[in-house]
Amino acid sequence: MNIQVRGDHLDVTPAMRDYVEKKVSRLEKFFDAPPEREVAVTMSVERGMHRVEVMLQVHGVLFRAEEASDDMYASVDLVVDKLEQQFNKYKTRLNKRFRDQGVRTRIAAGGRTVDRLEDDGADGGERVVRVKRFPIKPMDVEEAVMQMNLLGHDFYVFTNAATDEVNVVYRRKNGNYGLIEPK
């Protein structure tokens, strides 16, 4: 597994890099193929809190976790535990869904996410500061909700496999989910 450890305004020591690689490589037991792209680990210190974020993509599904504590090693442990919970939850839901449908398969691999930060120093008005580009794979609404929850986002854009149109699922204030479909 290719693990890229990066410090955000922080020097990553060899000991910390070894610790992160050891802990994150524990996640290999949850998937049968290596991640499609390198595992990105970002570490930073903000207001005395040590924040660790890990992103990896397996079988076309993006997993992301972020944790903060007053100790960097504890933050690494917490984020790996959180990812293990996400893998277990995903695996359970996927197995249940396929068992209910009588199908045994796995999600097709492919796709990547690209972040590009823009800072043009324009006047103080509103501006786009982050652009994300990603392929939109066909999936049903339940899978889109699951992907949204795994990413920890409040919305998720996807191609509806039933209608072959771009849809958006989102989390409502009451905890339920909404679906936006084009007319």
Please, are residues 76 and 84 in contact by the beta-carbon 8 Å criterion? no
Mean pLDDT of 3-24: 87
Domains and CATH numbers, the chain: 3-101 (3.30.160.100), 136-180 (3.30.505.50)
What is the four-CA torsion angle of 92, 56, 66, 116, rounded to 10 degrees? -140
Rounded to the nearest integer, the mean pLDDT of the chain is 79
The predicted-structure confidence for 17-72, as pLDDT tens digits, reads as follows: 899 989 888 888 877 777 777 788 888 888 888 999 998 887 778 888 899 999 99
Strand partners, 115: 132
Find out whether 39 and 4 touch, Cβ atoms under 8 Å. Answer: yes
